[in-house]
Amino acid sequence: MAEILFSSLGETLLMTLISTFLAYVIGLPIGILLNITSKKGLIPNRPVNLIVGGIVNILRSIPCLLLIVILIPLSNLVLGKGNWSGNWSSMIIPLTFAAFGFVSRVVEQSLAEVDSGVVEAARSLGATNRQIVFKVLLPEARSSLITGLAVTTVSIIGYTAFAGNIAAGGLIAQSFNFGYYNDDSTSMWICLLFVILIVQVIQEGCLLIAKKIDKRRKI
Amino acid sequence: MIELINITKTYNNTITAIKDISLKINDGDIFGIIGLSGAGKSTLVRCINLLEKPTSGEIIVDEQKILNINNKELLRMRKNIGTIFQNFNLLEQRTVFKNVAFPLELNGVDKNTIKEEVARLLKLVDLEDKANSYPSELSGGQKQRVAIARALANSPKYLICDEATSALDPKTTDSILKLLLEINKKFGVTIILISHDMSVIYSICNKVAVLDEAHIVEEGDVEQIFKNPQSDIAKRFIEFKRLEVK
């Protein structure tokens, strides 16, 4: 039991953390692009905003379960054909795709919260658009970005449930197996307890950091 | 010298924010622009500090026409025209020190020079002891002093004050105006002061333009307009009366 539990815990953490990281590698730049090309952004560009926003919306409408099927060719390409099935790593690509659209919107929203007056002040000081993104928008939105990270990570943990469909492991799939196939509700609950703990640690940890680094007036 | 020639700004081809405005702001002036809310002051400011392009007209800064310059030149021009705002617009996640250092960072100034410069500027605005505070820990007057130090970090020739004292109480307003006057006299920075309050204009400006419904209705020496206003709107600005309810 303990062995299964810890290997599942490891699988869930690896799936979640790697996918979250990759989702931000792709989603953060897209979120920035969506923000700066929006109507009130630094370089308003309606066509770009609509097309990129549309792609993000389409991606977000495809359920994670179907992304697993749709992305089989990509997984074959990246991980090597036949090498990845039944392994936690098979979930990385679908999870990343399921999350980066979400990340883009979360980032876009966080950046939109930055006071437009501050951006205006930076422009009046002769800042380039690049400088405004990296020295004003991202640093000023840092607290909101961290809260967004918590929400994203917790969503991805939820998506790891689909690992069960392709025997990729993880706590949630294992918990399902215990409860559904083995009629072992004690083990099921123990697995779930670990999921709950991970979610608590991530959510509260991020909130704590977000609060600590936020130097605006505390309300 | 900043010269505006027949500046008009129209939004969506329908709303005319300012129309046919011509102004000459000489070096060393403290030039007041007064007008009611909606008169077009903010649009005028955004045209002068080059954040917005007028629909038509020409702006000449130090004998250079600036409406068709390239982006690099434009950024350099903006650095020469500092702006302070009613809402201060400080970077909330940066300390006072880092706020004043911000324009220097943008210019790629090295760390030691930044340290010296920021120390000098904070001394000028009398906030040496607040270097490590965050804007949320400061009073309105202190925030505006940080904004002034930040605007001066680029060593601009011009400083635009966009309703800079409108959010401050009278005593703090006086101290900020005194500081602006000092900056004008000591460093020769030309100041363009936008306000809806005649007493603010009267305190430090030598010239004033009265803006009403997108037009300039009157312009001249402050003393002269104060003594002998021609337009109705100028008369209203210098007239004090008690309100009555019938």
In order, the DSSP letters of chain B are -EEEEEEEEEETTTEEEEEEEEEEE-TT-EEEEEE-TTSSHHHHHHHHTTSS--SEEEEEETTEE-TT--HHHHHHHHHTEEEEETT----TTS-HHHHHHHHHHHTT--HHHHHHHHHHHHHHTT-GGGTT--GGGS-HHHHHHHHHHHHHTT--SEEEEESTTTTS-HHHHHHHHHHHHHHHHHH--EEEEEES-HHHHHHH-SEEEEEETTEEEEEEEHHHHHHS--SHHHHHHH--------
Cβ-nearest to A215 among B87, B92, B154: B92
| Per-domain residue ranges of chain B | 2-238
Measured between alpha carbons, how far apart are the two ends of chain B, in Å?
Answer: 50
Q: Is the pLDDT of residue A83 over 70?
A: no
| Regions of chain B where pLDDT drops below 70 | none
Pairing of strands B30-35, B56-61: unpaired
Beta bridge pairs of residue B216: B211
Contact A117 B89 (CB under 8 A): yes
Q: Are the beta carbons of B163 and B131 closer than 8 angstroms?
A: no
- A216 and B92 in contact by Cβ < 8 A? yes
Per-residue tokens: A148: 């967004």
Q: Contact, B200 vs B176, CB < 8 A?
A: no
For A140, the closest of B49, B87, B92 (CB atoms) is B92
What pTM was estimated for this model as a whole?
0.91
In this prediction, what percent of chain A has a pLDDT beyond 70? Answer: 97
Judged by a CB distance cut-off of 8 A, whether residue B51 touches chain A is yes
pLDDT value at residue A80:
77
Chain A residues in contact with B79 (beta carbon < 8 A): 125-126
**Closest to B215 in 3D by CA, of B232, B200, B198:** B232
- Position A218 scores a pLDDT of 60
Between A5 and A124, where is the model more confident? A124
> Residue B74: closest CA among chain A residues belongs to which residue?
A126
Fold of B2-238: Rossmann fold (3.40.50)
Could you tell me if A159 and A12 are in contact, meaning their C-beta atoms sit under 8 angstroms apart? no
A117–chain B Cβ distance below 8 A for any pair: yes
Return the amino acid letter for B21: I
Q: Which of B88, B103, B70 is nearest to B167 (CA)?
A: B88
- Is residue B154 less than 8 Å (CB to CB) from chain A? yes
Residue A44 contacts B, CB cutoff 8 Å? no
Q: With bands split at pLDDT 50, 70 and 90, how would you rate the model's confidence at A84?
A: low
Compute the average pLDDT of residues A117-125. Answer: 96
Q: Which pair of structure tokens corresponds to residue B50?
A: 């080059």
- Using one digit for the tens of pLDDT, what is the confidence trace for A8-34? 999 999 999 999 999 999 999 999 999
SS3 assignment, position A127: coil
Quick one: average pLDDT of A94-114? 95
User: So where are chain A's domains?
Assistant: 2-213
For chains A and B, count residue pairs whose Cβ atoms are closer than 8 Å.
73
Alpha-carbon distances, residue B35 vs B77, B174, B207 (angstroms): 26, 20, 14
For residue A143, the chain B residues in CB contact (below 8 A) are: 93
Smallest CA–CA distance from B150 into chain A, residue: A125
CB neighbourhood size of B1 (10 A): 15
What residue type is assigned to position A159 of the chain? Y
Strand locations in chain A (E) = none
Q: Which two tokens stand for residue A193?
A: 């307890």
Provide the pLDDT for residue A216: 87
ipTM of the complex: 0.91
Distances (CA, A) of B136 to B83, B91, B126, B143: 21, 10, 18, 9
Residue with tokens 């020295």: A135
- Superfamily grouping for domain A2-213: MetI-like (1.10.3720.10)
**112-151 of B, contacting A, C-beta below 8 A:** 134-136, 147, 150-151
